[in-house]
Amino acid sequence: MISVLKLLTSIVNYFHDKLILLSKFMGLNFNDKQLHFLVIGLIGIVLFVIVHKLFEYLIRYSLTAISFIYTFTVLVVFVFAIEIGQKVTGRGNMEFQDIVEGLWGFLVAFAIYIGLVFSVHLLKRWSRRLR
């Protein structure tokens, strides 16, 4: 887990350093806070447009798909926060496999939920036909 975080951090730091050099090269001389404001603002609005279009497409077919995506995204942040918290506090081990297992647990539970919903739907349909 620590090696994954170090790799991600080195990638972010690489782009961070390149952006600072680019802003200085262009004569803009943005400080770190201004770069965060601009870059995260730009990434956020691009991500929003992509997610909005995806959700517009999905809502035609299933609100469940949107609920699943949202829940899964929140859980990803949550399990990472738990693992980082374990590293910071020294309580437990910070392991990537814990994240994978936690998210796998949600996927299995969601598959069971979908199976139950589908079964109830089929039973209702069959009972209507029998009447």
Q: What is the pTM of this model?
A: 0.72
Token pair in block for residue 96: 């990537």
Average pLDDT, the chain: 89
- Cβ contact 18:3 at 8 Å: no
Write the pLDDT tens digit of every residue in 12-25. Answer: 888 888 888 888 88
Total residue length of the chain: 131
Write the pLDDT tens digit of every residue in 76-114. Answer: 999 999 988 888 888 878 888 899 999 999 999 999 999
